[in-house]
Chains A and B, each alone.
Chain A
């Protein structure tokens, strides 16, 4: 029996008004994301990738078209689909455990502590429970954000360039971590990035957006098992195709 789709984007257009001028950010986008799928949305900066994610997260409303999750129209933010923000969005005044427990405030204390402890462990932050974000490295802060998102057991995680602020080594490590956690939790992930390598390393499918007004120019399947060999011909074939679709030549 086929599972129903997780996210359905149908003919979604988003326009903003600026100085009495209508600015089309997203132009007639249609996209289906399956449950437990890892989808990367790839596109040049300013193309409206974040706007798409914001609408799916319920923070913005499409100007035209429809947006459904599990068959229900999106009406606003919901703990079942959690956003991981670009600038972490974790609270600098709260400790690691208080940050991770943010979505669990209504649960009984004992249960909350048990869940938080589990996710502290999962993201490798043991020993830093009582630390404040200012005492953590960029990668650790991102782990807090990830643990906070996962702690509410969401079935959809929306990530807006979550690794963008990290140095390249930490970014590689965090990609591996993310894949490990995704395999363990099997949630659906929509991951926005402008990094071609990142999308080929992570995604089941890569959705390529054009510059504004953004349309979907291609959807590329990455049929490679994890962990992916970044030297393999197939990896490079996908990568080259993405570069080509973005309109940039791979050789410099």
Chain B
């Protein structure tokens, strides 16, 4: 028993050893070894914490038993298998993704044009900017009661919350992007007689595009962040629902943690997908040092 308690410590010591050992290793190797080492340290810390918080329950007339407060990493594994096995994981992930992507698409469809207009036309900015700035600091979660009132308990409420979370980063990001277009580009365009929509299509939009893509990336992150909260209320599907449901229906903290890990994993995947936009010729120039 004593040895088993010591084992995690030995593991993390080994992982920490990777830091000095790979100092002179090729970068490619370091890229693989170092995150694994971090993962081991984190898992060990998690495990140690779960073990440390266990307590003995002694009820009169019963044999004392150990009560787990937090699940250990090893206890979460079967929870994953369970969620995959009964199809809940895939079903809930799709439900959440559908809400996030719909809300995000709506936010982009409205936010980009409004941001372009408010960034370019002073009068639009005068009219709209104070309200954008005043509504922006209200957490999308504060809108939950109102959105349920407006859209009921269906997808609509959750999509609206995500829309709000994604909309403001896109509007403000696009606005800033347009305002920071170097004056030389605009002057050149005007010099060649470009105006109206042509000026927008040929100069304003392409010049702002890299920063718009950055704001889309932030917005998608926020959307994914709020979907969980949006699904914790008045909806019975999605990864957010999974988490509240697992707790409410029998304190299944192993399922809670499994759900959390899935949210993280899908978040990374979404970010990786939207980052691919940054490699397009139309966007890449904005991220490279000339």
Which of these binds chain A: B15-23, B60-68, B282-290? B282-290
A152 vs B192: C-alpha distance when bound (angstroms): 8
Min CB distance B216 to A, Å, is: 17
Min CB distance B188 to A, Å, is: 4
Indicate if the CB atoms of A134 and B184 lie closer than 8 Å.
no
- Residues of B within 8 Å of A105, CB to CB, are 194, 198, 202
Interface residues on B, range: 20 to 34
Min CB distance A50 to B, Å, is: 12
Indicate if the CB atoms of A89 and B198 lie closer than 8 Å.
no
Indicate if the CB atoms of A132 and B185 lie closer than 8 Å.
no
Classify the secondary structure of A's interface with B. loop
A239 vs B41: C-alpha distance when bound (angstroms): 72
Indicate if the CB atoms of A102 and B192 lie closer than 8 Å.
yes
- Residues of A within 8 Å of B193, CB to CB, are 77-79, 103, 106
B203 at the interface (CB under 8 A from A): yes
A-B contacts counted at CB < 8 A amount to 65
Indicate if the CB atoms of B185 and A89 lie closer than 8 Å.
yes
- Residues of B within 8 Å of A77, CB to CB, are 187, 190-191, 193
Indicate if the CB atoms of A134 and B288 lie closer than 8 Å.
yes
A79 vs B188: C-alpha distance when bound (angstroms): 10
Knowing A83-B187, A105-B202 touch, does A132 contact B192 (C-beta < 8 A)?
Answer: no
Indicate if the CB atoms of B192 and A103 lie closer than 8 Å.
yes
A236 vs B130: C-alpha distance when bound (angstroms): 63
Indicate if the CB atoms of A89 and B192 lie closer than 8 Å.
no
A182 at the interface (CB under 8 A from B): no
Indicate if the CB atoms of B206 and A93 lie closer than 8 Å.
yes
Indicate if the CB atoms of B187 and A93 lie closer than 8 Å.
no
**Contacting B184 at CB < 8 Å: which of A87, A94, A103, A106?**
A87
A85 at the interface (CB under 8 A from B): yes
A133 at the interface (CB under 8 A from B): yes
A221 vs B193: C-alpha distance when bound (angstroms): 34
A103 vs B203: C-alpha distance when bound (angstroms): 12
Classify the secondary structure of B's interface with A. helix
A133 vs B206: C-alpha distance when bound (angstroms): 14
- Residues of B within 8 Å of A235, CB to CB, are none
Q: Mark B165-188, 1 if CB is under 8 A from A, else 0.
A: 000000000000000001011011
B218 at the interface (CB under 8 A from A): no
- Residues of B within 8 Å of A134, CB to CB, are 285, 288, 290
**Contacting B187 at CB < 8 Å: which of A89, A92, A106?**
A89
Min CB distance A105 to B, Å, is: 6
- Residues of B within 8 Å of A133, CB to CB, are 285, 290
- Residues of A within 8 Å of B206, CB to CB, are 91, 93-94
A105 vs B197: C-alpha distance when bound (angstroms): 13
Min CB distance A87 to B, Å, is: 6
B157 at the interface (CB under 8 A from A): no
A57 at the interface (CB under 8 A from B): yes
Indicate if the CB atoms of A79 and B285 lie closer than 8 Å.
no
**Contacting A79 at CB < 8 Å: which of B182, B185, B192, B288?**
B192
Min CB distance B212 to A, Å, is: 12
- Residues of B within 8 Å of A132, CB to CB, are 281, 285
- Residues of A within 8 Å of B194, CB to CB, are 102, 105
B112 at the interface (CB under 8 A from A): no
A89 vs B276: C-alpha distance when bound (angstroms): 28
Which residues A86-105 have CB closer than 8 A to chain B?
A: 86-94, 102-103, 105
B256 at the interface (CB under 8 A from A): no
- Residues of B within 8 Å of A102, CB to CB, are 188-189, 192, 194, 202
A82 at the interface (CB under 8 A from B): yes
B207 at the interface (CB under 8 A from A): yes
Q: Mark A47-85, 1 if CB is under 8 A from B, else 0.
A: 000000000010100000000000000001111001101
**Contacting B191 at CB < 8 Å: which of A82, A91, A94, A106?**
A82
- Residues of B within 8 Å of A88, CB to CB, are 184
Indicate if the CB atoms of A89 and B290 lie closer than 8 Å.
no
Knowing A78-B193, A93-B282, A134-B285 touch, does A83 contact B198 (C-beta < 8 A)?
Answer: no
A79 vs B282: C-alpha distance when bound (angstroms): 26
Shortest beta-carbon contacts, A-B, top 3: A103-B192, A89-B184, A92-B285
B interface residues (Cβ-Cβ under 8 A, vs A)? 182, 184-185, 187-194, 198, 202-203, 206-207, 209, 281-282, 285-286, 288, 290
A interface residues (Cβ-Cβ under 8 A, vs B)? 57, 59, 76-79, 82-83, 85-94, 102-103, 105-106, 132-134, 148, 152
A-B contact sample (15 more), CB < 8 A, given A77-B187, A93-B206: A57-B191, A78-B191, A82-B192, A85-B184, A89-B184, A91-B185, A92-B285, A93-B207, A93-B282, A102-B188, A102-B202, A105-B202, A132-B281, A132-B285, A133-B285
